[in-house]
Chain A
Amino acid sequence: MRIALLSFFLFCLAGVTVGQFNVSGKVISNHQQPVSFATLTITALDLSAVANDKGEFNLRNVPAGKHLLSVSSLGFAPKNTDIEVVQSRSGLVVILETQDLTLKEVAVTAKRNANTLSTSYLIDRTALDHMQILSVGDVTSLLPGGKTNRNLHLAGSAAQMLSVNGVSGEGGNALFGVAVELDGVRLSNNAIPPSSFQASTGSRNIGADIRNIASTNIESVEIVTGLPSVEYGDLSNGMVKINTRKGKSPLVFDVMTKPNTKQVALGKGFDLGDKAGVFSFNLEHTRSISNLASPYTTYVRNNLGLNYSNVFNRKSRRPISFEMGLNGNLGGYNSKSDPDLFGNTYVKEKDNALRGNMSVRWQLNKPWITSLEASGTFNLNNRSFEESSAMSTPASRAAIHTMQTGYFVGERYADNPNSNIILIDPGYWYEIRKVGNDMQNYTARLKANWSRQINNVSNRLLVGGEWSRSYNGGEGEYYQEMRYAPTWRPYPYSAMPAIVNYAFYAEDRMNLRFASSTLRFVAGLRSDITSVAGSAYGNTGSLSPRFSAEYSFFEKAKQRVTDLSVRVSWGKTVKLPSFNMLFPVPRYTDILSFAPGTTSDGKTFYAYYTQPNVQEYNPDLKWQQNTLREINLQGNIDGVKFVITASYDKTTNPYIFSTNYTPFTHKFTDQSALDNFPIPINNRIYTIDQQSGIVTAHDRTGALPSQALPYREITRGISNNRPENGSPVYRKRLAWIIDFKQIAAIRTGFRVDGNYYQYKGLEQTVVASMPVSNTLMADGSPYKYVGYYTGGSVSANGSLRRSVDLNVTSTTHIPALRLIFTARLECSLYDFGRNLSEYKNGQRGYVLDNQSDFTPSSTKSDIYGRDQFIAVYPEYYTAYDDMQTKVPFAEKLIWAKDNDRALYNELVKLVVKNNYNYYYNPSRVSVYYSANIGITKELGKAVSITFNAINFINNISQVRFSQYNGSASLFGSSYIPAFYYGLSFRLKI
Chain B
Amino acid sequence: MKNVLLVMLTVTLFFASCKKDDVGPSILTVNVQLNYPSGSSFTAKEGVTVKVTSSASSYEAKTDAGGKAVFTLPVGVYEASATDSRSSNGRSYVYNGVKSGISVAANWVSSDVVSLDLVESQRSQVIIKEVFVGGTPNDAGSGVFLYDRYIVLYNNSDAVADLSKLCLATIAPYNSTGSNAYIVGGQLSYANAGWIPAGQAFWYFQQNVTLDPGKQLVIAIANAVNNTVTYSKSINFDNSSYYATYDIATFTHAATYVTPAASIPATQYLKAYRYGLGTAWTLSVTSPGLFLFNVANTTPVAFGADVSQNDQQGAALTSKKVPVSWVIDAVEAFQLNDNDNKKRFPATVDAGYVYHANRSGYSIYRNVDKAATEAIATNAGKIVSGYNFGTTSLGGSSDPSGIDAEASIKAGARIIFKDDNNATNDFHLRSQAALRN
- Please report which residues of chain A, range 50-102, place their CB below 8 angstroms from some CB of chain B when the two chains form the complex: none
Which chain B residue has the least Cβ–Cβ distance from A343?
B142
> Of the 9-residue stretches B67-75, B163-171, B246-254, B286-294, which lies at the interface with chain A?
B246-254
The closest CB in chain A to the CB of B313 belongs to: A851
> B40-48, B56-64, B224-232, B395-403: which lies at the A interface?
B224-232
Would you list which residues of chain A between 386 and 417 have a CB under 8 Å from chain B?
Answer: 390, 392-398
B258 touches A598 (CB 8 A): yes
Chain B residues within an 8 Å CB radius of A904: 307
Judge whether A776 and B249 touch: CB under 8 Å: yes
Query: Is the Cβ of B258 less than 8 Å from the Cβ of A780?
Result: no
Q: Is A774 a contact of B229 with CB atoms below 8 Å?
A: no
Least Cβ–Cβ distance between B254 and chain A, in angstroms: 7
| Residue among A345, A392, A908 with most chain B CB within 10 A | A392
For A606, list chain B residues within 8 Å (CB). 259
Complex CA gap A599/B301 in Å reads 31
Q: Which residue of A lies closest to B310 (CB)?
A: A852
A395 to B, closest residue via Cβ: B258
A428 touches B259 (CB 8 A): no
Contact residues in B for A908 (Cβ distance below 8 Å) = 307
- The answer for the CA separation of A345 and B234 in the assembled complex, in Å, is 24
A168 contacts the other chain (Cβ, under 8 Å)? Answer: no
User: Which B residues touch A782, using CB under 8 A?
Assistant: 249
Q: How far is the CA of A672 from the CA of B311 in the complex (A)?
A: 35
Interface size on A, as a range, is 35 or more
Residue pair B259, A671 in contact (C-beta under 8 Å): yes
In the bound complex, do residue B259 and residue A598 qualify as a contact, i.e. CB atoms below 8 Å apart? yes
Q: Given A600-B263, A674-B262, A913-B312 in contact, is the A394-B223 Cβ separation under 8 Å?
A: yes
**B22 close to A (CB within 8 Å):** no
User: What's the minimum C-beta distance from A289 to chain B, rounded to whole angstroms?
Assistant: 24
Identify which of A142-150, A458-466, A474-482, A589-597 touches chain B.
Answer: A589-597
Establish whether residues B316 and A915, one from each chain, have CB atoms under 8 Å apart when the complex forms.
Answer: yes
Measured CB to CB, the closest approach of chain B to A440, in angstroms, equals: 37
A675 contacts which of B225, B267, B301 (Cβ < 8 Å)?
A: B267
* Interfacial chain A residues near B37, Cβ < 8 Å: none
Minimum C-beta distance from B235 to chain A (A): 10
Contact indicator A598/B260 (Cβ below 8 Å): yes
Contact A675 B266 (CB under 8 A): yes
**Chain A residues numbered 554-599 whose CB sits less than 8 Å from any CB in chain B:** 592, 595-599
B23 within 8 A of A: no
Contacts of A916 in B (CB 8 A): 314-315
Closest chain A residue to B148, Cβ basis: A394
A428 and B230 in contact, given A905-B306, A908-B307 (Cβ under 8 angstroms): yes
A396 to B259, CA, bound (A): 9
What 0/1 readout, one digit per residue, does chain B (129-148) give for beta carbons within 8 Å of chain A? 00000000011111101011
Partner of B225, one of A342, A390, A394, A915: A394
Determine whether B372 belongs to the interface, using a CB cutoff of 8 Å to chain A.
no
Q: Is there contact, CB below 8 Å, between B226 and A394?
A: yes
State in angstroms the CA–CA spacing of A398 and B277 once bound together: 24
Q: Is A427 part of the contact surface with B, judged by Cβ < 8 Å?
A: yes
Residues of B close to A675: CB separation below 8 A: 265-267
In the docked arrangement, what's the CA distance between A397 and B258, Å? 8
Knowing A342-B143, A774-B249, say if A905 contacts B307 (CB, 8 Å).
Answer: yes
> With A and B bound together, what is the CA distance between A343 and B264 in angstroms?
36
Known: A596-B259, A598-B261. A776 touches B252 (CB 8 A): no
Q: In the assembled complex, which residues on chain B have CB atoms less than 8 Å from the CB atom of A395?
A: 223, 225, 229, 258-259
CA distance A393 to B231 in the complex (A): 9
B225 touches A778 (CB 8 A): no
Give the docked Cα–Cα distance between A681 and B238 (Å).
13
Task: Tell which of A602, A604, A778, A852 touches B229, judged by Cβ atoms closer than 8 Å.
Answer: A602
**Distance in angstroms between the alpha carbons of A604 and B261 in the assembled complex:** 9
A882 CB-CB contact with B under 8 Å: no
Give chain A residues whose Cβ lies under 8 Å from the Cβ of B249.
714, 774, 776, 780, 782
Residues of the B chain whose Cβ atoms lie less than 8 Å from the Cβ of A772: 277, 279
Which residues from A are CB-within-8-Å of B304?
778
Partner of A392, one of B230, B252, B267, B314: B230
Q: What residue of chain B has the Cβ atom nearest to residue A913's Cβ?
A: B312
| Contact partners of A426 in chain B: CB under 8 A | 229-230
Chain B residues closer than 8 Å to A398, beta-carbon distance = 254
Tell yes or no: A294 within 8 A of B by CB.
Answer: no
Is B305 on the interface with A (CB-CB < 8 A)?
yes
Which of B138, B147, B148, B225 lies in contact with A602, CB distance below 8 A?
Answer: B225
Contact of A778 with B305 in the complex, beta carbons under 8 Å: yes
Could you tell me the distance in whole angstroms from the C-beta of A889 to the nearest C-beta in chain B? Answer: 16
In the complex, which residues of chain A have a beta carbon less than 8 angstroms from the beta carbon of B141? 342
Closest Cβ of chain A to B212, distance in Å, is 23
Residues of A within 8 A of B311 (CB): 852
Q: Say whether A390 contacts B140, CB under 8 Å.
A: yes
Residue of A nearest to B261 (CB): A598
B149 at the interface (CB under 8 A from A): no
Residues of B within 8 A of A670 (CB): 248, 259, 266
CB A125 to nearest CB in B, in angstroms, measures 49
Interface positions of A from 598 to 623, Cβ below 8 Å from B: 598-602, 604, 606
A394 and B259 in contact (CB under 8 A), knowing A774-B252, A904-B307, A905-B306? no
With A390-B142, A397-B254 known, 9 other A-B pairs at CB within 8 A are A390-B143, A394-B234, A592-B248, A597-B264, A600-B226, A602-B229, A774-B252, A774-B274, A778-B304
Across chains A and B, which 7 residue pairs bring their CB atoms closest together, nearest first? A597-B262, A672-B266, A778-B305, A915-B315, A395-B258, A671-B266, A394-B227
Interface residues, chain B, with chain A CB atoms under 8 Å away: 138-143, 145, 147-148, 223, 225-227, 229-231, 234, 238, 248-252, 254-255, 258-267, 269, 271, 274, 277, 279, 301, 304-307, 310-316
Show 26 residue pairs from A and B whose CB-CB distance is below 8 angstroms, ordered by the A residue: A342-B141, A392-B230, A393-B230, A393-B258, A394-B147, A394-B148, A394-B258, A395-B258, A397-B254, A428-B139, A596-B262, A598-B258, A599-B261, A599-B262, A600-B238, A602-B225, A602-B229, A602-B230, A604-B259, A675-B265, A772-B279, A774-B274, A780-B249, A782-B249, A851-B312, A905-B306
